Structure 1
Amino acid sequence: MIVKKEQIMRIILEQQSQEIKFRFYSASTIGGLSKTELATYESIIPKGSTSATYESIIPKGSTSATYEHRPDIQFDALALVKSEWQDIAYFSLNGEMICERSAYGEAMISKCDELFTQNAYKQAIEDELKAEKSDREVVVSELTEKGAGGLMSDYATYWEQYKKENNL
């Protein structure tokens, strides 16, 4: 499965309790001399990292990241992924590779399709929020009985998890 930057940004937000690492291609790769040479150090999004600690540098509600070799430097991980998507070689979650490019300029390929697949309820909510932000209207095609049942099942699962996480 080809991974888009919006999908990995969603994973970063959903998996804040996990450590996420990613590595850029080296400057010589981006310059065209090599297609697979990686930067020396990884970038890290530590477990539970949010911008609360770094509000003066990173917008509130974002996820902060740092460099393996320079933990004193903090930056907005989502903004970086959005702007430098083509220069990133891979992402790993708790030490396990979740997606990678075979070479610079190639598509990012998933190693774990289930992680990047969104359930029907969450996808409907995401589509609605995107449409609301851009002043568009979401046109929903007619749901079959199976489709409506799947949507409600996904909602029930989400609601149970929400109640458990918030002690309701």
Structure 2
Amino acid sequence: MSYADVAASGPKQTPEEAAAPQPPQIVPSETASTSSLIDVDTPSVRTVPSDFLEQDVQTETQQQRKEREEKAADAAARAEADLAKKKRSAARKARKADNFLTQWFGELSDNASTALVAGNLAAVVGVSAYLGYKALGLYERGQLTWRNVGLGAGVALGVGLFEATLGGYLYKGKKSDRS
């Protein structure tokens, strides 16, 4: 049995019951109440000045946001100034150490500087020979790995960079000593 069959088997509606309800009718009257309207002459109504949109700050929220942004900008500027001051201080200390080393190497006699160069060369050759000997021993035992090779190359690189730095100061010191 379908829904239509069930609905058809019940009691029939009268035409008044089947019709849609009538919309409410508005009765016009001459005495309309204006008590609910706002009186614009009372001081409780707030007005906006005509130049409202041209103002920099239009609301209290904008004012507070601008104050927060200004405080954050001031803090960032102070932090940047402190960082620049620390950088200048570190650079000044580095120049002072650089000048000291250059002056010290410049004051070395020719014999002392030759001995220093020979000592540096002997150190590089000695470290390289020692690392090669250790690598050969590890190879013969079958324990030579890429980690060991990398570690040895890193040590050799570190010694070479140290020696090159000292050699650079020696060169600068001797160059300034001659001029």
TM-score (norm 2): 0.20
User: Larger % of strand: which?
Assistant: 1
TM-score (norm 1): 0.21
User: Larger % of helix: which?
Assistant: 2
Identify the structure with bigger relative contact order (alpha carbons < 8 Å, sequence gap 6+): 2
Larger Rg: 2
